[in-house]
Amino acid sequence: MLDSIQQYNDLYVFELQDPTQVIEWIQDRSVCVAGYDTKKRNEILQLSLPPKLCAGVRQGLCPERDFRVEHGGFSNRPVHQLKHVSGTRGFHLLCDVSDGRLLLIETIFSAVLWRTDTIELVSTIHSPEETWPQIATSCSLSPRLLHGSQLNNVKIHDVETQKLLFTLGTSGKPLSGLHLTDSDTFVLCSARDGCLWLGDWRQRPALAGSSEVPASMGRASRWVMAPGPGPDLSLSPTARLSSAGSLVLTDLRDFNKPLSCAEMKLSSHSPNPEHLCVARAPCSQGCLSVSGFDGTVHVYESSAWTVASGEVQPLFVHRGHAVRDCDDEPSAMVTKHVWHPNRPHTILSAATDGSFHIWNWVQPSSHS
């Protein structure tokens, strides 16, 4: 890693006690992470970003003491998803655990309650799914929770009252992702074939149409999606990624055909499709990132892609999680990565060995 430090404007390295599959932003200065071990209690931590990073001062490689635990708590079950709900009292977290229950967790920290920094369970929304559901939230005056593991059990709840607002009853296709584009409309992604559905819970039928993956993309065991950042759909196509390394971008305003398609250069398919992750850059139009195939994160510039782009080369590859102290150590796999909401070219990534990185790469002159 030290040999390649010149490739970075900033590189912050931290070791979590346990690996995480979730990295969820709390505004733009702290994140929540949580363990997913099936054999013990798992920590839920809110970590503040290094102050020097927030100040925008270039520091290069920085030690782990620059991170600080702001709040913490425990879950008796593995945490596979976690969502912050903005606009509510204190900090509220929606936590999905592997036995199919949705847990509403609140960080007890407000203008009145300065006495504790503990994350505590305040209520539970039960979900009957046999497998853990996908979850998404809206940032509206009345926050909504969208959740479900299959097309036939997708539901929308009001977060504060827990009132059930909508249930989608249709086929039993398993889902790998869902997203609320606003408080009323949503996008769903099929885990099996990558099909997208666009819906509006106020309409009947709720699903307005579907977008299939082109047959030329080949077969894959799993597909995941990443919604475009921001409310302007014209600037934020939805990205789909397969376990075989296929990428499809779709403009939700022109839902029936893909905007562009590409193939990653891979030596093999993802060994653990549950770790597949694709993310869109909120501050860099056209940039997207991919992980879940090994210990690397690949960054791509997609602005020039077409429906027949073929194999594409990454703009940058972060290999920090793949570095091993000795040859007999098992290779780490990246479990999750997210972009900084306001800082261009800055990504947070975590891996199976507990490593947790924040990095900002040096832009090639041709892309500056």
pLDDT in tens, 164-201: 999 997 778 899 999 998 888 899 999 999 999 999 99
Residue range 243-255: mean pLDDT, rounded: 93
The pLDDT of 97-114, averaged and rounded, is: 58
Largest separation between any pair of C-alpha atoms in the chain: 59
The one-character DSSP state at 179 is E
CA angle 5, 8, 14 (to 5 degrees): 75
Tally of CB atoms within 10 A around 234: 9
Residue that has been written with the tokens 């407000």 in this structure = 110
pLDDT given for residue 301 in this prediction: 96
More reliable by pLDDT, 116 or 177: 177
Contact of 120 with 105, CB cutoff 8 Å:
yes
Share of the chain above pLDDT 90, in %: 43
pLDDT confidence of residue 328: 65
Q: What is the pLDDT of residues 24-47, one digit of tens each?
A: 998 888 999 999 998 999 999 989
pLDDT of residue 72: 86
CA–CA distances in Å: residue 178 to residues 196, 209, 288: 9, 15, 18
Mean pLDDT (whole number) for 117-146: 75
Tens of pLDDT along 6-17? Answer: 899 988 889 999
Burial of 121 (0-12, 13-18, 19+ CB in 10 A): middle
Pairwise pLDDT comparison (243 vs 326), residue with the higher score: 243
pLDDT at 351: 97
Residues 6+ positions from 143 with CB-CB distance below 8 Å: 85, 86, 87, 88, 137, 158, 159, 160
What is the model's pLDDT at position 134?
87
Residue 132 has pLDDT above 70, yes or no: no
Q: Are 44 and 69 in contact (CB under 8 A)?
A: no
Calpha distance 33→45 (Å, rounded): 5
Per residue in 200-233, pLDDT (tens digit) is 999 888 898 889 998 888 788 999 999 988 766 6
- Mean pLDDT value across residues 311-337: 86
- Confidence band for 112, pLDDT divided at 50, 70 and 90: very low
Residue 154: pLDDT band (50, 70, 90) is very high
Give the tokens for residue 303: 């602005």
- Give CA–CA dist 55/29, Å, rounded: 10
**Least confident window among 40-44, 237-241, 274-278, 323-327:** 323-327
Would you state the pLDDT for residue 3? Answer: 53
Per-residue pLDDT, 86: 74
| The length of the chain, given as a count of residues | 368
How high does pLDDT run on average in the chain?
84
Contacts for 356 with CB less than 8 Å, ≥ 6 apart? 13, 14, 15, 16, 20, 33, 348, 349, 350
In whole angstroms, give the CA distance from residue 186 to residue 263: 27
Sheet holding 144-148, edge to edge: 134-137, 144-148, 154-158, 164-168
- Residue 265 vs residue 102, higher pLDDT: 265
Q: How confident is the model at residue 281 (pLDDT cuts 50, 70, 90)?
A: very high
Q: What is the mean pLDDT of residues 139-153?
A: 84
Quote the CA–CA distance of 109 and 87 in Å, as a whole number.
14
Tell me which of 296 and 140 has the higher pLDDT: 296
Helix ranges restricted to H, 95-215: none
Query: Pick the residue with more confidence: 338 or 344?
Result: 338
* 274 burial type by CB count under 10 A (0-12 exposed, 13-18 middle, 19+ buried): middle
> In terms of pLDDT, which residue wins out, 60 or 169?
169
The pair of three-digit structure tokens given for residue 212, joined into one six-digit string? 């299939």
The more confidently predicted of residues 71 and 324 is 71
